Amino acid sequence: MRLLMAGSPGSGKGTHSRRLANDLGISHIATGDLLREQVAAGTPLGREAKVYMDRGDYVPDKVMVDMIKHRLSEPDAEKGFILDGYPRTQTQATELDKVLADLGQQIDAVIILEVPVDEIVERLSARRTCPSCQRAYHMRDEPPADDERCDDDSTPLERRTDDEPDTVRHRLKVYADRTAGVIEHYDVDSIVRRVSGEASVDEVAKRIHEALGF
């Protein structure tokens, strides 16, 4: 099976992509990980991508397409894969179709994990990190024992500026604008499966399986 998993920041997309890949025995391909691996290995693509990343810019579509093409040509991807975090733009979706067509493949289904904006804001804005030991907390789901201090070293916990409610809302807006075209692209072929991600991890995993017809 060849799948795409889409979902906004905080939707649980990463967790569910990994879990589904594991359940189906297919490869989990996350573009963020791919980028980091290529940069760390110092490959030509990694060096090119690093120039943009160091400037805080998006890595251009062309570099991403080359990276995906390279990854999808590896032997383990033959038995199927789930792409996590890609394509993010309509251009990338069109290019992905071409890459797959060259390999004699196509996408079987696109899963969109839907979570209401207010729930995402609540999930992300409740995240805290200890600046001293980097331990992660969640004020709703995994709070520290003592107010907002680290259990291990009592350092006051911090919230990333990215996770401030206003910033989260802005990130969600940017995400929605960028991905609208991608969803439209796949909607044409009726392979989009919308799944509500507002439930426990086990329940959402079950819904994903059902949406895929298992």
Q: Which positions are catalytic?
A: 13, 88, 127, 160, 171
Question: Tokens 């940017």 — which residue?
Answer: 174
Give the start-end residues of each E strand in the chain. 2-7, 27-30, 81-84, 109-114, 127-129, 136-138, 192-196
Residue 129 as a binder of Zn ion (CB under 5 A): the answer is no
Shortest spacing between CB 129 and Zn ion, in angstroms? 9
Please state, in angstroms and as integers, the Cα–Cα distance from residue 206 to each residue in 108, 111, 124, 196, following that order. 19, 13, 23, 11
- Among residues 34, 150, 192, 205, the one that binds Zn ion under rule CB under 5 A: 150
> b/e for 89-111, b at 16 or more Cβ within 10 A?
bbbbbebbbebbeeeebebebbb
Judged by beta carbon, residue 84 or residue 163, the one nearer Zn ion is: 163
Judged by beta carbon, residue 102 or residue 152, the one nearer Zn ion is: 152
Judged by beta carbon, residue 135 or residue 159, the one nearer Zn ion is: 135
Residue 136 as a binder of Zn ion (CB under 5 A): the answer is no
- Among residues 133, 136, 174, 176, the one that binds Zn ion under rule CB under 5 A: 133
Can you give the binding site for Zn ion, defined by CB under 5 A? 130, 132-133, 135, 150, 152-153, 155
